[in-house]
Amino acid sequence: MFAAGVGSTLINVRSVWFLLLYASDLLDILTAAEKEKLAGGDRDNDLLDALADVLAAQVEVRLRSMLARGYQSSSEPLARVRGRIDHLGTERRRLMESGKIQCCYMEQTVNLPRYRFMLVTLRRAARGAVSESVSRRCLTTAQLLERSGVSSMDPTPSEISKEHYGHFDQPDRKLMAVSTLVREMCAPEHSSGTDELPAILRNEHALRGLFEKAIRGFYRHHLVPTGYMVSAKSTAWPAAGENTALAFLPRLNADVLIRGPGHQTVVECKFAPIFVERHGKVMLDPGYLRQLYSYASVFSHGFNGRTCALLLGALVDRSSGRNLDFVLDGIPFTVRQIDLSSRPREIREALLAAFSAGLPEASHRQ
């Protein structure tokens, strides 16, 4: 457990794994069985182990189907010509005296940056895994990669960015997504070294983005199969006037817009205190309330159905606010604080309950 962000938001490390999982695009490319394994809730306490196990299994499948090959440049003295002759290198090293010439050529290799990235990730996962069987499997898979010709030198971000994926390399994209998430989930080790808490936890701006993206990913994963559309929505103000004047108006960027038949919910996510104290009175942050009201009002224009507003904030230490349900100018508002110090299962239930509170059948029950 550690504190982060404004107002000292308490976060469980497992909750960080939960956020990272839903904030990634990984769930969109996994099989149904893999999704259930990671997001079903049964592996919340050892999510890193479950993800490492998925990575090892997928790398093993990729090894059986043959790794992709690329080209790397090589330069060495040879007794016969191969590729291009390096005349300057040949003369400088006086290779002709020994019957050799310096040659520069391209050769096929499986030692690509993507596979080196996976190999190093498997070794890190083996160190961080709680389960001995998962740790052993990760090490075994890493050794298989090495025997195939992949080195254990970690590639630089520049090398990773230059990777090209062909039509038959789509499995590698999935493996890179899993490997990246495993690295981001890297938990603290009780030993000296460079491994600490995930770097994102030392960056408040990145934490806000993570919270927003995770909420959007969570609702997309759980609601899209039931017929909803979930996205981040941007629109202009419904203003009239000269274009030169309208150019100064900012756009309205909703964190999450959930749309279903005859119903839409505008969701605003805040990794910060959503309740403030003014003149001895606890109240909703006026700026957040005005922002969400504006968004809900604008998005309701032209929509043939019911529009609701949902404000989700990370519960901060010693918060005196509470859950709120009210109607403002005909728009139902739901305000919820999400306790990130609780277990992932409880966070999952709280998020689903927060969305359900704004549904028409929920208002009828109230």
| pLDDT, tens digit, 9 for 90 and up, residues 134-185 | 999 999 999 999 999 999 999 999 999 988 888 888 899 999 999 998 888 7
Give the model's pLDDT for residue 199: 53
Identify which has the larger pLDDT, 366 or 128.
Answer: 128
Give the model's pLDDT for residue 45: 75
Tell me which residue of 50, 47, 42, 52 sits closest to 14, measured CA to CA: 47
Give the model's pLDDT for residue 117: 95
Question: At residue 365, does pLDDT exceed 60?
Answer: no
| pLDDT, tens digit, 9 for 90 and up, residues 45-71 | 788 888 999 999 999 999 998 899 888
For residues 348-362, give the mean pLDDT. 86
Please tell me the total number of residues recorded for the chain in this structure.
366
Average pLDDT along the chain:
86
Beta-sheet strands, E only, within 33-100: 70-78, 84-85
For residues 284-307, give the mean pLDDT. 92
Identify which has the larger pLDDT, 3 or 344.
Answer: 344
End-to-end CA distance of the chain, in Å? 36
